[in-house]
């Protein structure tokens, strides 16, 4: 019935004008992006950790999704096959994700996708993200994250798609000058590693793009520390090699893949001496992207705006270890070690602006974060690779 | 006699080993970059204003030069012809410049040049540089200046060439927090336009590259306000369209191409109310690059170092107008107008570090700057285009 209604105007047009350009018909028959009634979102880095969880929320909320990824950081059975994370997303949602194995540095391939699909907005996750690695191979990070992003923005502008949600990070604030960190906190000062600088630079590039062309609408989402997994346990964080972040490390200790956790710094001026961070459940973070998309649709929204996505509450390393032990029923072996250069004592968000302007707030607590991480880890001890 | 000496080791090798790999011989016969006895320098943006004057100094000091340029900002009779500026350089020096019409974003073309020539160091000028235009088309600036530079650095590293002099700018200091500006002044804060940000970002990228690989040696040269022309009057600044900078504007008024100069801001807290800048003669600036190359050869030089290239003395707009009127014997019509957003009252260098460490100091004064600009302008009223 619905499809009949959709086809009616075209039938009418054929009768009335006699002929419809072939390209138009082809487009109509080959893509049904708009059939779902909501917008079509291009998600770069859609197979990654934050990407895949965001795609779940998009599909559950009636968006059509075109996901692209170069697969450097996610598991797939082959270069031409849909990555495992997106197959799982389809299992969770019962919806289909259109996927392309495309690198954002590949201008021609990007352009083809914009020509093939009627894309309304872009959520841009694609980036390299390992802090330590970025110090070792900075040019690779600048090429991927800066040159790649700027190529994506050029192709978007060329195709008239000028609304974007950018996956930024609290790392743009550098060493916090005050706590909790508001969006007014200076950015770019004391970003000590290339990864953090690429996030800051892309923010600056987007600000300049918005200043140059009033048609652009951009939301910069500054993530604090995303953890957890989808409640189904089907998707989650799947770092290659030794995890860079606390939570996957803890969970790999719990599941027996690593012997013990090393806690860097136990003499910080925090309640228990270990570093305090603002952990946020990945599904809450994902919902934040939908709220950002809705915000951009508001006619009053213009130019760019940055929002913190955090809970506003900090937890120490040892609090996380304890919570994870309780959720998993496993003992988490750890040792205390010296501070790591570049680490700060505490970092947590003032999340008021997102609450007031995006109508978004984190709803999942530390127990949910640990429980869902453990469910994912336990059922997928080797991540997406066939266990 | 010299060439016989040069060939001797090869002759000896042929006798001793019997055979020399063909590639080695070919290399020897087809390129004679090393014949001049000094290093071979790849100069990107070699046909531009600072580039061409630096090439003169390099050739006069026994360096071999490979110049590349994409010709977007300089006059050439055709895409495959050597740009007029470099023909004039050859006239001035009596030496030959190897030239390639290559864009620094073209990885394959760059790589070919590094394979074809034994390059010792790179002086990297190639960049878009119009502040106003950068606000209008920021992505073009980020692609050219950031993605292009990072591609160049990757190709250099791949070919084992890891010493570079980068054409940076005092604009990285933003609005001066103190005067005179030393190299210790914070950078990247309050860079208000994309052009300035690209200079700052490339500096940061190079710092990260040096931190990642101890083989890299980088000198960042922060120019104040380059003016003037080669004393021969054969080369000089040849802006396309309306000049962005004061000196070419004044000289075009003097030669009758423009009616009058607009002086933006006459109520600054400076002696005569107009903005004060540190103008530096282009030939002094060019010599600074040779000193930077020599500095990098010093075994004690490691990683990166930034140097201001300025005179350390500021002149106001009206002082420059007066000096130019005297040098040219022409009246310079001007009108006073409101301040321009983003302009600062005064900006001049502390040039002590370059004096102490590079053994460099500006030797040409404001009279030379005006006299040489006028000679260039008078004999080339339309720049490099056939008058």
Question: Which of chain A's residues have a Cβ under 8 Å away from the Cβ of B136?
Answer: 212
Query: Beta strands B315-316 and B276-277: pairing type?
Result: antiparallel
Q: Chain A closest CA to B342's CA: distance in Å?
A: 15
pLDDT reported for residue B35:
47
d(CA B48, CA B59): 16
Contacts of B343 (CB under 8 A, 6+ apart): B264, B265, B275
d(CA A349, CA B287): 50
Tokens found for residue B181:
């500006």
d(CA A165, CA B123): 38
Neighbour count for residue B110 (Cβ, 10 Å): 25
Query: Beta strands B163-169 and B217-223: pairing type?
Result: parallel
pLDDT reported for residue B225:
97
As averages over each run of 10 residues, the pLDDT of chain B (387 residues) reads 39 35 37 60 98 98 97 83 96 97 98 98 97 95 98 98 98 96 95 94 98 98 98 94 91 94 96 97 98 96 98 97 97 95 92 98 98 96 80
Hey, are the CB atoms on B154 and A143 less than 8 Å from each other? yes
Please state at what angle helix A317-328 crosses helix A366-379, rounded to 10 degrees: 60
d(CA A89, CA A59): 9
d(CA B57, CA B287): 6
Please report, to the nearest 10 degrees, the dihedral formed by the alpha carbons of residues A294, A299, A302, A307 taken in order.
-30
Neighbour count for residue B385 (Cβ, 10 Å): 11
Q: Where are the domains of chain B?
A: 33-379
Question: Which of chain A's residues have a Cβ under 8 Å away from the Cβ of B152?
Answer: none
Among A49, A35, A6, A27, residue whose Cα is nearest residue A95? A35
Per CATH, the architecture of A33-379 is what?
Answer: 3-Layer(aba) Sandwich (3.40)
Neighbour count for residue A239 (Cβ, 10 Å): 16
- Which residue positions in chain A have pLDDT lower than 50? 1-35, 387
Q: Chain A closest CA to B263's CA: distance in Å?
A: 25
pLDDT reported for residue B386:
64
d(CA B277, CA B50): 18
Contacts of B197 (CB under 8 A, 6+ apart): A204, A208, B188, B191
Q: Which residue has the tokens 């925090």?
A: A270
d(CA B99, CA B106): 16
Predicted complex: ipTM over 0.85: yes
d(CA B91, CA B55): 12
d(CA A304, CA A166): 10
Helical segments of A76-180, H only: 84-93, 107-116, 131-136, 138-141, 148-158
d(CA B191, CA A200): 14
Concatenated DSSP letters of B325-362: HHHH-----EEEEPPPTT--SEE-B--HHIIIII----
DSSP letter for A181, please.
B
d(CA A92, CA A88): 6
Interface probe for B, chosen from A104, A107, A205, A304 (most Cβ of B below 10 Å), is A205
pLDDT reported for residue B27:
38
Question: Which of chain A's residues have a Cβ under 8 Å away from the Cβ of B212?
Answer: 135-138
pLDDT reported for residue A386:
64
Q: Catalytic amino acids of A?
A: 195
Residues of B within an 8 Å Cβ radius of A: 135-139, 142-143, 146-147, 150-151, 153-154, 157, 188-189, 194, 197, 201, 204-205, 208-209, 211-212
Residue A339 · residue A263 · CB < 8 Å: no
Helical segments of A174-264, H only: 194-212, 246-254
- Provide the 3-class DSSP secondary structure of residue A195: helix
Residue of chain B whose Cα is closest to the Cα of A202: B142
d(CA A140, CA A132): 13
- Cα A189–chain centre separation: 24
Q: Which residue has the tokens 């959520």?
A: A123
Q: Chain A closest CA to B127's CA: distance in Å?
A: 15
Query: Beta strands A303-309 and B64-69: pairing type?
Result: unpaired
Residue A120 · residue A40 · CB < 8 Å: yes
Residue of chain A whose Cα is closest to the Cα of B157: A139
Q: How far is CA A385 from CA A7, A79, A85, A333, B360, in A?
A: 43, 15, 10, 26, 61
Contacts of A124 (CB under 8 A, 6+ apart): A44, A45, A149, A152, A164, A165, A166, A167
Q: Chain B closest CA to A335's CA: distance in Å?
A: 29
Residue of chain A whose Cα is closest to the Cα of B211: A135
- Provide the 3-class DSSP secondary structure of residue A72: coil
d(CA B135, CA A198): 20
Tokens found for residue B347:
């900006």
pLDDT reported for residue A343:
86
| Rg, chain A, Cα only | 22
Q: How far is CA B184 from CA A344, B207, B278, B308, B350, in A?
A: 24, 15, 18, 10, 10
Q: Which residue has the tokens 């990683």?
A: B303
Hey, are the CB atoms on A138 and B209 less than 8 Å from each other? yes
Residue of chain B whose Cα is closest to the Cα of A132: B212
């Amino acid at each position: 019935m619905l499809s009949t209604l959709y086809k009616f105007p075209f039938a009418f047009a054929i009768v009335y004008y006699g002929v419809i350009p072939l390209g138009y018909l082809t487009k109509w028959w080959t893509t049904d992006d708009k059939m779902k009634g909501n917008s079509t979102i291009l998600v770069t880095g859609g197979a990654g950790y934050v990407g895949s969880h965001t795609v779940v929320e998009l599909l559950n909320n009636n968006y059509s999704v075109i996901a692209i990824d170069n697969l450097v950081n996610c598991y797939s059975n082959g270069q031409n096959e849909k990555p495992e994370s997106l197959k799982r997303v389809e299992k969770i949602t019962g919806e289909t994700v259109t996927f392309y194995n495309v690198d954002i540095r590949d201008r021609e391939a990007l352009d083809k996708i914009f020509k093939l699909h009627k894309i309304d907005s872009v959520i841009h996750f694609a980036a390299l993200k390992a802090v330590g690695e970025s110090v070792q191979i900075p040019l690779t990070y600048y090429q991927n994250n800066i040159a790649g992003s700027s190529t994506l923005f050029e192709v978007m502008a060329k195709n008239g798609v000028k609304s974007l949600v950018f996956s930024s990070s609290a790392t743009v604030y550098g060493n916090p000058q005050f706590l909790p960190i508001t969006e007014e906190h200076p950015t770019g000062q004391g970003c000590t590693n290339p990864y953090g600088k690429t996030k800051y630079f892309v923010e600056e590039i987007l600000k300049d793009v918005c200043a140059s062309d009033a048609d652009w609408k951009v939301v910069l989402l500054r993530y604090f520390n995303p953890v957890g997994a989808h409640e189904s346990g089907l998707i989650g964080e799947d770092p290659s090699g030794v995890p860079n972040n606390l939570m996957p490390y803890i969970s790999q200790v719990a599941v027996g893949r690593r012997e013990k956790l090393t806690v860097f710094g136990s003499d910080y001026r925090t309640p228990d001496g270990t570093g305090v961070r603002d952990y946020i459940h990945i599904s809450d973070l994902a919902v934040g992207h939908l709220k950002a998309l809705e915000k951009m649709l508001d006619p009053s929204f213009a130019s760019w705006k940055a929002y913190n996505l955090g809970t506003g509450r900090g937890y120490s390393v040892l609090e996380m270890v304890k919570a994870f032990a309780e959720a998993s029923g496993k003992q988490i072996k750890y040792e205390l070690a010296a501070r790591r250069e570049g680490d700060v004592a505490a970092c947590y968000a003032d999340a008021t602006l997102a609450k007031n302007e995006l109508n978004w707030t984190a709803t999942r607590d530390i127990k949910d974060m640990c429980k869902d991480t453990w469910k994912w880890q336990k059922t997928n001890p080797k991540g997406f690779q066939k266990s």
